[in-house]
């Protein structure tokens, strides 16, 4: 009973705290100065069609590096907590339909994921979405064959190389352009607006992010689902 | 969009209510993921501008005054990374739940009273 | 028009949130939480954020639900063993 009163009080306090924010919220009709600067800079300086991509990869690039680090730490935690003990004895077979379809769909899903993260600067999508799609392809394999063993050394190799190259591209910006240009995509030619080979290093950085996210989430899925 | 803002706050309050009242550990994690979704909806709805299009500068947007025609790209960028981190954190919490269950064979939070005073 | 769609989707989402918290069957609760994420991705699309909508559709309703179901499977298996 006392607990219920405390819970109600806490929720009521939360609602009262947020109420002024909802009531007095005034919606703007114009972009703020910073956002319009980002949109204009994305056309003039970066040649990137997708403004969200230019914000993630370039303007807030250090932030994304931190996010990828948090993802790596969470994956390490999952891997530490769910260490494999021993392989299960009786193999369970999935249905014939799932096995055949997964062999057919695996390649197509991987291709779609690669398409999404290489075209991240042109169309909606990018490294995070492409990486997640690659993970779903591996998830299909796990569902079709429960006793599947992934080659963990390849997964770790892809993961650590993409992370290392990500930082190295950032350091190249410092070396080639000068101070204040960590993760500057202008180390490569900027190309023509709206073409695949444009926007400097943005497609390369986003592909590396996609590989890193894909391999890390595949590790999580493997640890959680494998037996 | 005021309705999306209100919806986000309602989801946040419902998720917090679930986290505070439920005894089952998995229900608590579900409440956490509802709070996550609510927060993301709030942030995206703050960036919405009425009658403007997505920040993808293809044929639908006139490049000369693009800044007048698109919605705010910064909340989208923040939420995009936050969703991926949310998945990893949920997986970490669930692996803690699995570990606790393997140790004590119980999912009820009343059975974990080592820190209760 | 967008407001009406958001109100309808929002009512479904709030009902699904209550179900996710109050259902006794854990599997049904997990599926309800997945429904919330799936409808949230439609709302992101209406709010002109297609990047976020793609991410939420793939992660929120796909991978998160699968991770919860894997956890339930692991816990069930522990029950059967002992």
ipTM: 0.87
Chain A contact set for B76 (CB, 8 A): 52, 55
Residue A50 and residue C47: Cα distance in Å, rounded? Answer: 16
* φ, ψ at C45 (rounded to 5°): -65, -40
pLDDT band at C82 (very low <50, low <70, confident <90, very high): very low
**Considering only CA atoms, which of B73, B98, B32, C78 is closest in space to residue A78?**
B98
CA distance A65 to A54: 14
Q: What global pTM score does this model have?
A: 0.88
**The predicted structure's pLDDT at residue B35:** 92
Q: Does C51 touch chain B (CB under 8 A)?
A: yes
Taking a C-beta distance cutoff of 8 angstroms, is the pair C49, B71 a contact? yes
Torsion of CA A192, A196, A201, A205, to 10 degrees: 160
Give SS3 for B24. Answer: strand
Among residues C20, A166, A131, the alpha carbon closest in space to that of B14 is found at C20
B12-39 pLDDT, tens per residue? 999 999 888 888 888 999 999 999 999 9
Q: In chain B, what is the straight-line distance between the N-terminal and C-terminal CA atoms, in Å?
A: 46
User: Which chain C residue is nearest to residue B4, measuring alpha carbons?
Assistant: C6
CB atoms within 10 A of CB A165: 16
How far is B59 from chain A, CA to nearest CA, in Å?
A: 10
* Contact yes or no for B95/A77 (Cβ under 8 A): yes
**Does residue C42 carry a pLDDT above 60?**
yes
pLDDT score at A99? 82
Q: What is the pLDDT of residue B5?
A: 87
Structure tokens at B82: 């936050």
Whether C23 contacts chain B with CB within 8 A: no
Per-residue pLDDT of chain A (227 residues; tens, 9 = 90+): 888 888 889 889 988 988 888 888 777 777 788 888 888 888 877 778 888 888 888 888 888 888 888 888 998 888 888 876 655 555 667 788 888 888 888 899 999 888 888 888 888 888 888 888 888 888 888 888 766 777 778 888 888 888 888 888 888 878 877 777 777 777 777 777 777 777 778 888 888 888 888 888 888 888 887 66
pLDDT at A179: 74
Residue A91 phi/psi, 5-degree rounding, is -75, 135
Do the Cβ atoms of C71 and A224 come closer than 8 Å? yes
Alpha-carbon span A158 to A162, nearest angstrom: 6
| pLDDT the model gives residue A146 | 66
Closest Cα partner for A224 from C29, C66, C58? C66
- Predicted confidence at residue A108, as pLDDT, reads 92
Q: How far is A98 from chain B (nearest CA, A)?
A: 25
- Half-sphere exposure (Cβ direction) of A11: Cα atoms closer than 13 Å: 18
Helix crossing, C26-46 with C64-81: angle to 10°?
170
Most confident listed range (A190-194, C59-63, C74-78) = C59-63
- The residue whose two tokens read 């590096």 is A65
Closest CA–CA distance from residue C34 to any residue of chain B (Å): 10
pLDDT above 50 (res C80): no
Given this model, what pLDDT does residue A227 score?
60
């Amino acid at each position: 009973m006392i607990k219920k009163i405390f819970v109600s009080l806490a929720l009521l306090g939360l609602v009262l705290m947020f109420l002024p924010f909802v009531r007095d919220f005034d919606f703007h009709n114009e972009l703020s100065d910073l956002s319009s600067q980002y949109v204009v800079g994305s056309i003039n300086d970066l040649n990137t069609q997708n403004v969200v991509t230019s914000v993630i990869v370039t303007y807030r690039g250090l932030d994304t590096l931190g996010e990828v680090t948090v993802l790596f730490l969470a994956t390490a935690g999952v891997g530490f907590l769910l260490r494999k003990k021993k392989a299960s004895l009786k193999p369970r077979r999935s249905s014939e339909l799932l096995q055949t379809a997964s062999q057919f769909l695996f390649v197509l899903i991987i291709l779609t994921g690669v398409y999404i993260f290489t075209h991240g600067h042109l169309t909606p999508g990018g490294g995070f979405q492409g990486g997640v799609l690659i993970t779903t392809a591996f998830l299909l394999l796990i569902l079709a064959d429960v006793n599947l063993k992934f080659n963990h050394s390849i997964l770790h190799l892809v993961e650590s190389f993409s992370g290392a190259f990500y930082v190295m591209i950032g350091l190249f910006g410092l070396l080639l352009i000068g101070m204040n240009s960590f993760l500057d995509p202008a180390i490569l030619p900027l190309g023509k607006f709206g073409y695949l080979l444009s926007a400097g290093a943005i497609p390369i950085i986003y592909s590396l992010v996609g590989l890193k996210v894909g391999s890390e989430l595949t590790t999580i899925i493997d640890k959680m689902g494998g037996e | 969009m005021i309705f999306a803002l209100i919806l986000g706050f309602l989801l946040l309050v419902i998720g917090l209510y679930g986290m505070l009242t439920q005894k089952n550990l998995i229900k608590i994690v579900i409440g956490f993921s509802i709070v996550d979704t609510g927060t993301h909806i709030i942030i995206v709805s703050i960036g919405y501008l009425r009658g403007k299009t997505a920040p993808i500068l293809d044929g639908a947007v006139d490049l000369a005054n693009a800044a007048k025609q698109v919605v705010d790209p910064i909340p989208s960028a923040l939420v995009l990374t936050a969703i991926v981190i949310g998945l990893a954190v949920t997986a970490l919490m669930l692996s803690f739940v699995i570990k606790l269950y393997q140790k004590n064979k119980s999912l009820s939070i009343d059975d974990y009273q080592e820190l209760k005073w | 028009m967008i407001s009406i769609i958001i109100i309808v989707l929002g009512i479904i989402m709030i009902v699904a949130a209550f179900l996710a918290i109050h259902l006794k069957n854990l599997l049904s609760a997990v599926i309800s939480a997945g429904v919330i994420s799936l409808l949230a991705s439609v709302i992101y699309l209406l709010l002109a954020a297609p990047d976020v909508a793609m991410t939420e559709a793939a992660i929120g309703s796909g991978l998160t639900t699968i991770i919860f179901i894997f956890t339930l499977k692991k816990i069930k298996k522990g029950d059967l063993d002992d």
